[in-house]
Amino acid sequence: MEQIIHELQDMRHLSWAKTRRSSGTAGSFLKAYEDTPDGKIYYKLSNYDSYRGIVGHECVNEIIVDRLLTHFGIAHLSYQLIHAQILIDETPVETWLCASRDFKRRGESKIALDAYYQSERTPGETPLAFCIRNGWAQTIYEMLVIDYLILNRDRHGANMEVLRDRRRKTIRLAPLFDHGLSLLCRCETEADLTRENVMADKPVQCFFGSRSTWENLKLIPKENLPKLPPITANDKAALLSGVSDVIGDKWLEAIWQMLYQRSQAYASFCNQR
């Protein structure tokens, strides 16, 4: 699959539904889907404001995090970035959108992790302890590290899913997905960017821990700290290539500094444990 389609695509047939930001801040996300001979495809836009239009760059974040997870060898949902002509409230809009395919296997159904936890937990069992009991500890530990590196603001209990096949009697966690509200998602202007501290420990949503991604690293036992390949200057092009016409070079440089500096901080954290 070509990861970025730069040529403008006519996608005016899609019907977009609004989903409010789960973080409670202004704006919403528009989502759509279509059934194809190869299965269902899901589409989403960056942050949308009815007055200003599409003002975010969450779709670019998905591509960058997709590449980062590939670099680390962590199972995740793959995304495609598409330059498209769409209709919003019957008005033509030229934008960039994200596309992804259904990660369920034939015969599987899905349920949000928080809902599954509520129905299957033992009395007093925390979400983290519940996942450890179900054999998902390493996936959660990897997720906590990734969420620190990208400053994921939105790891609520429905941003992970459980996939069940009742006939085969199998159950598994879905691959990691939905990383748009990360990196520099709150920086809409250059003024915002100049004020940004890429190492700042900002409040986040996390189903498993606290509102600090740094503090959540301490939930991982020393012997289970994920050993991730380092991020070096040689990886910059692979992570950021092809998106400079979607998001400005100043944003890309700040994103790079965020990933590089936070990866260095994580390496120091591991050495000190």
Structural domain total, the chain:
2
Report, as an integer, the average pLDDT of 116-139.
97
Q: Is 31 contained in some domain? A: yes
**Per-residue pLDDT, 108:** 95
Put simply, whether the predicted model's pTM sits higher than 0.75 gets the answer: yes
Note down the domain range covering 27.
4-101
The string of pLDDT tens digits covering residues 184-228 is: 998 988 999 999 999 999 999 999 999 999 999 999 999 999 999
Same-domain check for residues 88 and 135: no
Mean pLDDT check: name the lowest of 29-38, 44-53, 100-109, 213-222.
44-53
Same-domain check for residues 208 and 258: yes
**Per-residue pLDDT, 23:** 40
Q: Is 53 contained in some domain? A: yes
Last residue of a domain, one of 60, 85, 101: 101
Mean pLDDT of the chain: 93
The three state secondary structure string of the chain is CCCEEEEEEECCCCCCEEEECCCCCCCEEEEEEEEECCEEEEEEECCEECCCEECCCHHHHHHHHHHHHHHHCCCECCCEEEEEEEEECCEEEEEEEEEEECCCCCCCEEEEHHHHHHHHCCCCCCHHHHHHHCCCHHHHHHHHHHHHHHCCCEECCCCCEEEEECCCCEEEECCECCCCCCCCCCCCCHHHHHHCCCCCCCCCEECCCCCCHHHHHCCCCHHHCCCCCCCCHHHHHHHHCCCCCCCCHHHHHHHHHHHHHHHHHHHHHHHHC
